[in-house]
Structure 1
């Protein structure tokens, strides 16, 4: 999948999830939630894509190991960034990480389904 399409799909899936979670969990205004979700994806998606592109020509086991570790790192970074962007007092660490994991898992699943379909 070309990068622009992958990034668009990621935003299409993750923005509504982040927005719903942040507005419900942390009483974050909708506009701020959308802005925070967009910002964290803009910060993490390009480096993730670049990093994983280094493994596409190698062994599948190496790619999937790198993919798993990189996605885990992205979830942690996004949780930290989203808390910083919406004021840490509004969203506790555990819900921020749960939201990041849920959003990223959903976009990974969407990407896999889109690629297979």
Structure 2
């Protein structure tokens, strides 16, 4: 599969697991740090269009739990703005495979990506 990109944080265990599994499967993903390297102004709206706010906003994160109720209400109305301002609210990893976007890491994600690579 060409053009496989994993967006996440360098210290994120889920991201590390995803990269390791994808490398082991021979998929050689490119890693992009969402805080340092990603163009979130472009990426976040595109991801929201593909997967929706419910999948992309990590409401179990420390950042979310520490937000005020007012800020959470803003996130409900303008998730793109909040995710761009607070990249750690993005559920990780975000994996772009061609025109497909997947959020989070499971064995099923690996199965889907390796099946797509075989096609």
TM-score norm. by structure 2 comes to 0.29
Higher strand share: 2
Higher helix share: 1
